Structure 1
Amino acid sequence: MAKYFDIHPDNPQRRAIGQVVDLLNQGGLIAYPTDSCYALGCALGNRDAIERIRQIRKLDENHHFTLMCRDFAQLGQFVHVGNAVFRAVKAATPGSYTFILPATKEVPRRLMHPKKKTVGARIPDHVVTQAILAELGEPLLSTTLLIPGEAEPMVQGWEIKEELDHVVDAVIDSGECGTVPTTVIDFSDDVAEVVRVGAGDVSRFE
């Protein structure tokens, strides 16, 4: 049965954040709110939780996982951001964008796209997510919480608890969060390609 954390959206309780991070460090899989709807997240090296995410979402090997990063400095440790795209990515973060970029050697190979050696990366504009990332000290491996067969992502903590009670280890609820997935921009070839139109304004990349 998943633990349920009710965390204040503006002033996250440090004890609760610490408990969430302890769970992540012990191999847990969490459902947590972001600025662009709920996501599933686990520690980078957690093979078991990654496989559980694949099963919940029914993902194939070509799916781009996302590294949820605290800030631009951390993002730069895990993806290559060339001069041509630096300014564009920097200007759009934090925010509701996921950028597909070439992965550095810090990223486990199994998380990269098998052919392109790329990975998704983003910096969320969400107080609770940022508190978790600050305590964790490394990116959170994430993917949008979209149940197969459903047209819309789940956005209510209590609904997620009911639906995923036996397949995740914790659900974090901090009230309303975004209801639209991120806008995805592929910068793997140094030219912006809009892969998915979502919460972030695409006009700056067109």
Structure 2
Amino acid sequence: MPARRRNRSARSIRARPGVRSTGCGAVSVTAGEAQRLSVHPTTPQARLIERAAQRIAGDGLAICPTDAGYALVWSLNGTAAEERARRLRQLDSRHPFTLFCRSISDASRFARLDDPAFRLLRRLSPGPVTFILPASGQLPNRLKQSARSKRRDIGIRIPEHPVAKALLEACGEVLLSTTLRSPEMDADEAPFLGHEADEVADLWLHAVDVMLDAGHCAPGPTSIIDCTLPAPDVVRQGFQPVHLD
């Protein structure tokens, strides 16, 4: 059972250094503030999940725990939030994002699944694995890009973390996502695993609208399986390795 943490149902943290605790209960969020919501890691409180979902529905940018570290998430139609995520991560316009899905059925709406890909998703999902798949016609054109080639593909992930699953259900739609990294972290020899809530909040909370804080989660990154190749292949082993045999 996860260790109990101090009771803080919600915090408002200004975009500038300094923390202002509001205690338990609802808080009113104004411009220039980010809301940090403390949720149970296995049975997240529905009212707090709904609060985060409302921020996302309003083109907000959120931080959510997953089974491979905390991640930035936003609505599929949240173009303003997407631009904020690009600026925050210092990404160019062709950098691909990952689609968070509730199920294989969700994934099949936005990606084309052949039999080998379907079997892999069924065997390895939900879990800390990203699948690169050919994009379907339902995916918005702005997302049909690849930093690796001219192919039109999309990264698909079905997270297992209870908080991420609850957020997807509350939003009622797929979400776009990217890892919490910066070019400086990529150049650093010490890996940033993105699994400690306080560290994530110190680095990133000032730049988002809401953070679902579930304490420590499993470290990242995910493993990546490229299903656009003639035979699916693991192109990156994550913190939790996968095997196709």
Q: C-alpha distance in 2, partners of 1:51/1:196?
A: 26
Which of 231, 237, 242 aligns to 1:191? It is 231
Between the two structures, name the one with larger relative contact order (CA 8 Å, sep ≥ 6).
1
Distance 1:13-1:102 versus aligned 2 partners, 3 A rule: same
> Percent identical across equivalent pairs?
38
Q: C-alpha distance in 1, partners of 2:121/2:174?
A: 17
1:46 is displaced (CA, Å) by: 0.9
Which of 13, 27, 33 aligns to 2:59? It is 27
Q: C-alpha distance in 2, partners of 1:172/1:96?
A: 18
Bigger radius of gyration, 1 or 2?
Answer: 2
- Contact 1:85–1:190 (8 Å) recurs in 2: no
TM-score scaled to structure 1, two decimals? 0.93
TM-score scaled to structure 2, two decimals? 0.79
Q: Could you say which residue in structure 2 is the equivalent of 1:123?
A: 158
Gaps of 5+ in 2: 1-32, 186-190
1:163 is displaced (CA, Å) by: 2.0
**Structure-to-structure mapping, 1:172-191, within 5 angstroms:** 172-191=212-231
**Number of corresponding residues:** 205
Partner secondary structure for residue 91 of structure 2: coil
1:60 is displaced (CA, Å) by: 2.5
1:195 is displaced (CA, Å) by: 2.2
1:73 is displaced (CA, Å) by: 1.1
Gaps of 5+ in 1: none
1:178 is displaced (CA, Å) by: 1.4
- Contact 1:30–1:171 (8 Å) recurs in 2: yes
- Contact 2:104–2:121 (8 Å) recurs in 1: no
1:190 is displaced (CA, Å) by: 4.5
**Structure-to-structure mapping, 1:78-117, within 5 angstroms:** 78-114=110-146, 115-117=150-152
> Cα deviations across residues 104-130 of structure 1 (Å, max 9, x unaligned)?
122111122252111100111110100
Q: C-alpha distance in 2, partners of 1:138/1:34?
A: 17
Distance 1:200-1:159 versus aligned 2 partners, 3 A rule: closer
